[in-house]
Structure formats: structure tokens, C-alpha cells
Amino acid sequence: MEIVKSNQNIKVLKMILTVFLGTVLLTISAKIKIPFYPVPMTMQTFVVLLMGLSFGYKIGLATVGLYIFEGIVGLPVFSNSPEKGVGWIYFTGPTMGYLIGFLFATFLAGYLNFKTNIVLIFFKLIISVSVIYILGVLWLGYLIGWNKPIIQLGVTPFLLAELFKISILTLIGKKLIKLRNFI
């Protein structure tokens, strides 16, 4: 009985540590800007999808949920914070739809079960990242007006970078999925 309880405690501790370290990784990925054409690239969407693949949807959602909560309460975890503000004000700004999309993308990347087929992993990741951009564009359109070139502002500059990130994740996807067994 004690061994079972001890194993459960270890598993819970591993999950908590994984979620915490995941938020740190997501914060770092938001802060580093990589020169890319036509706009600099952060690695946030890469890490969001990576967490879904490697952590699974439950721990992935907990991680992204905690990350968003950290940002809402004022920790400077989001990209361009604290320069452009922190907390609820920053969260409800132009990137809110994308940040909410992170939750859905992590869920889809972790939930959809295409473990063995590299083509299906690629399409799973395309679907997952598309949700980020759909929610991002919907919020951006609501916020700045539908008469603006929303797709050109909120999607087009990032497509090449997303294809690059998804291609890398697809190539290592099978190995990432195996990480779930250690969590």
C-alpha cells in the first residue's frame, strides 16, 4: 500500500514539475526573437505544439493554462511584456485570440492520435496551429475592425515560419510522443 502511495506522489510531483518547467520554456520561447523573413519569429507556437505532442493534452493544457494565468496576474511571461504592458490589459490586447488558441492547439496536438504516420502528424500539427491563427484573427478583427487587412496583419507574415516549425516537429514527432511515458 505504501509503495502505491509513494508512486502516486512521485507521479504527481513529476506532473507539477513538468507543468512548471513547461511554463518556463514557453516564457523563454516568447522572449527570444529569431531573425526570419518577413517578420522575426518567436518559438511560442513551436513550444505549444511540442508540449501537446510530448506531454499529452492533459499536462499540455495545464501548462498552457498556467502560463496564461501567470500572464494575466502580471508576470511578464508574454512576448513583448513588460515593454507593452502586463497582466489583464496586455492579455486582452491584440494577441489574446492567439493566446487562447494556444490552449486549443495544445489540446489538438496532444489529443489527436496519429502516433505512427509522419504525414498524419504533419496534418495534425497544421490543424493545431491553424486554430491559433483562426482565433487570433477573429479577436484581432473584433479588436481593430474588420475593415483592416486582418489576414495580412495577423497570419501572412508568419506562414513561412510556421511551416518551418511544423516541419521540424513532424520530423521529431514520433520521438516526442514517446516522452509521455516518462511523465
Q: What are the residue boundaries of the structural domains of the chain, listed by start?
A: 2-182
- For residue 82, which phi and psi values (nearest 5 degrees)? -90, -5
- For the chain, how many helices (H) and strands (E)? 8, 0
Grade residue 183 by pLDDT with cuts at 50, 70 and 90. Answer: low
pLDDT (0 to 100) of residue 4: 64
What are the pLDDT digits (tens) for 63-101? 999 999 999 999 999 988 888 788 999 999 999 999 999
Cα 66 to Cα 79: distance, rounded to the nearest angstrom:
16
Tell me, rounded to whole angstroms, the distance of Cα 143 from its chain centroid.
22
Instruction: State yes or no: pLDDT of 38 exceeds 60.
Output: no
Grade residue 107 by pLDDT with cuts at 50, 70 and 90. Answer: very high
User: Running DSSP on this structure, what letter comes out for residue 152?
Assistant: H
Query: Which residues are CB-contacts of 16 (< 8 A; sequence separation ≥ 6)?
Result: none
Half-sphere exposure of 114 (CA within 13 A, CB side): 18
Hey, is 113 helix, strand or coil? coil
The residue that leads in pLDDT, 69 or 38, is 69
pLDDT (0 to 100) of residue 175: 82
| Domain 2-182, classified CATH 1.10.1760.20, yes or no | yes
Q: Residues of the chain with pLDDT > 90: what percent?
A: 64
User: Running DSSP on this structure, what letter comes out for residue 146?
Assistant: T
